[in-house]
Amino acid sequence: MPRAAAVQMSSGSDKRANLDRAESLVRVAAERGAGLVVLPEVFDWRGARGAEGAVAESIPGPTSERLGALARELAIHLQAGSVTERIDGDRRCFNTALLFAPSGEIVARYRKIHLFDVEIPGQVSTRESETRRPGGDLVVARTALGAIGLSVCYDLRFPELYRRLVKAGAEILCIPSAFTFPTGAAHWEPLIRARAIENQCYVVAPDQYGHSPSGHRDYGGSMIVDPWGAVVARASEGEAVIVAEIDLEYLRRVRQELPCLTHARLATSIDS
């Protein structure tokens, strides 16, 4: 039975060090039998606001080539969290999730749709839209492990996105994140479990933890949740690799015995 891994990191502003550490943790996940390994959002670089342009890369580029070579060497599907993708002629960048096949090829690219513009007095102040440009395309990749739907962090709060992904065939939802501590402590687990339950999917949700260079404290608590909403793997504090089985027969049984996906009567806001 295939296994998936979520990698919890505390990435900083040293891009090479982040990539080295991510590679080491991906190798640990592969050694534990994971055929799908998911890294957190912005795993390769987190630095000062406004510095994204200096570290952003085109895709393909050096970072994607290194990740593709790693996926090929380990013969795994690697969902490389998200990276900062350069856009020619635009000062802003895309926050881009990549999925690599065991061949090393990029088989899916998703650009984060919902940008985190939030002001919680005394706790969180951020405007992702100042340095990032939103994507607009839904992405589902069909693989030997199952159909994988891609999303990133703040997308988690928009259930219509995930229903659209499921309508497109998704069975595994990847939600690489850098969830801040105040919102994470209140909402991280309920939202992840809700997305798994209402869409009857596996959810693989790796998160950043600790203090980011921008001053935010990230929540951690990376999880893998099954289609019934059970948390089948959970990270504790600090750097971690968690692994769980992906049982698509179980997923199909859940969908057959409680066929709520076929009972929907109202269009989502993104449909209307």
In DSSP notation, 42-63 reads: TTT---STT-HHHH-B-SSSHH
pLDDT of residue 221: 97
Total tally of structural domains belonging to the chain: 1
In this prediction the pTM is: 0.94
What is the three-class DSSP state of 41? coil
* Domain assignment present for 135: yes
| 192-195 contacts at long range (C-beta below 8 A, 24 or more positions apart) | 192/156, 192/223, 192/225, 193/225, 193/229, 193/231, 194/159, 194/229, 195/156, 195/159, 195/162
| Confidence (pLDDT) at 259 | 97
Which residue out of 52, 85, 93, 153 is catalytically annotated?
153
Could you give phi then psi for residue 97, rounded to 5 degrees?
-95, 135
Q: Could you tell me where the beta strands, DSSP code E, fall in 139-239? A: 140-143, 146-150, 172-174, 202-205, 209-211, 217-219, 223-225, 231-234
CATH of the domain at 183: 3.60.110.10
Place of tokens 């502003």: 13
| Domain range enclosing 190 | 3-262
CA distance 143 to 128: 31
How far is CA 228 from each of CA 157, 201, 220, 222, rounded to the nearest angstrom? Answer: 19, 8, 22, 18
CA pair distance 95, 93, nearest whole angstrom: 7
pLDDT of residue 216: 78
Is 15 an active-site residue? Answer: no
Sign of CA dihedral 239, 47, 188, 101: negative
In a domain, 268, yes or no: no
Task: Kindly name the residue from 41, 57, 85, 128 that is annotated as catalytic.
Answer: 41
119 φ, ψ (degrees, to nearest 5): -130, 100
Task: List the pLDDT tens digit at each of the 272 positions of the chain.
Answer: 999 999 999 999 999 999 999 999 999 999 999 999 999 999 999 887 777 878 899 999 999 999 999 999 999 999 999 999 998 877 789 999 999 999 999 999 999 999 876 655 555 556 676 678 889 999 999 999 999 999 999 999 999 999 999 999 999 999 999 999 989 999 999 999 999 999 999 999 999 999 888 777 899 999 999 999 999 999 998 999 999 999 999 999 999 999 999 999 886 644 44
126: in domain: yes
Q: Is 41 a catalytic residue?
A: yes
Rounded to whole angstroms, the Cα distance separating 54 from 94 reads: 13
Residue 242 belongs to some domain of the structure: yes
15 lies in some domain: yes
- Asked if 160 and 270 count as a contact pair (C-beta separation under 8 A), the reply is yes
Residue of 52, 57, 112, 128 with catalytic role: 112
Position 153 in a domain: yes
Do residues 15 and 84 lie in contact, with contact meaning Cβ atoms separated by under 8 Å? no
Is 167 designated active site?
Answer: no
62 assigned to some structural domain: yes
Residue 61 lies in a domain: yes
Q: What is the rounded distance in angstroms from the CA atom of residue 95 to the CA atom of residue 235? A: 24
